């Protein structure tokens, strides 16, 4: 799912004065640390401060992931995880490390699906 429309609405709200910068630039310290250590730089400027490019932080969630659930991952790890685990959800958040803007950009499902129980009797 692409959250581009929601992002545009938030940015529009900020620019028209219906939202404050404090409301939209509220990244938690954990998210800023994840951006610093696990984030993947982009060429997209921050839609709020326009001074820095945003960083993508990818999180994974799913019952089958065990200790990996809720962790930030780099994109290169996802292919192996998709092969090794049942379905799990991936969330990509863009973060500006300068002004603390953050917004969910996309979410999708990976994994090899639930176990095939049809062949087991």
- pLDDT tens per residue, the chain (121 residues)? 888 899 999 999 999 999 999 999 999 999 999 999 999 999 999 999 999 999 999 999 999 899 999 999 999 999 999 999 999 999 999 999 999 999 999 999 999 866 555 555 4
In degrees rounded to 5, what are phi and psi of residue 20? -95, 160
Number of alpha helices (DSSP H) and beta strands (DSSP E) in the chain:
4, 5
CB 73 within 8 Å of CB 121: no
| Count of alpha carbons within 13 angstroms of residue 26, beta-carbon side | 8
Q: What is the pTM of this model?
A: 0.87
Quick one: CA dihedral 27, 32, 34, 38, positive or negative? positive
Domain boundaries, the chain: 4-110
């Amino acid at each position: 799912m692409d959250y581009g429309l929601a992002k545009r609405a938030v940015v529009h709200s900020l620019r028209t004065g219906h939202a404050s910068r404090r409301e939209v630039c509220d990244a938690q310290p954990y998210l800023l640390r994840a951006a610093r250590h696990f984030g993947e730089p982009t060429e997209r400027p921050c839609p709020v401060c326009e001074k820095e490019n945003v960083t993508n932080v990818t999180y994974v969630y799913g019952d089958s992931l065990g200790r990996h659930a809720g962790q930030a991952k780099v994109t290169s790890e996802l292919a192996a995880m998709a092969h090794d685990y049942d379905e799990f959800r991936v969330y990509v958040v863009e973060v500006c490390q300068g002004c603390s803007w953050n917004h969910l950009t996309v979410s999708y499902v990976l994994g090899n699906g639930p176990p095939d129980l049809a062949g087991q009797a």
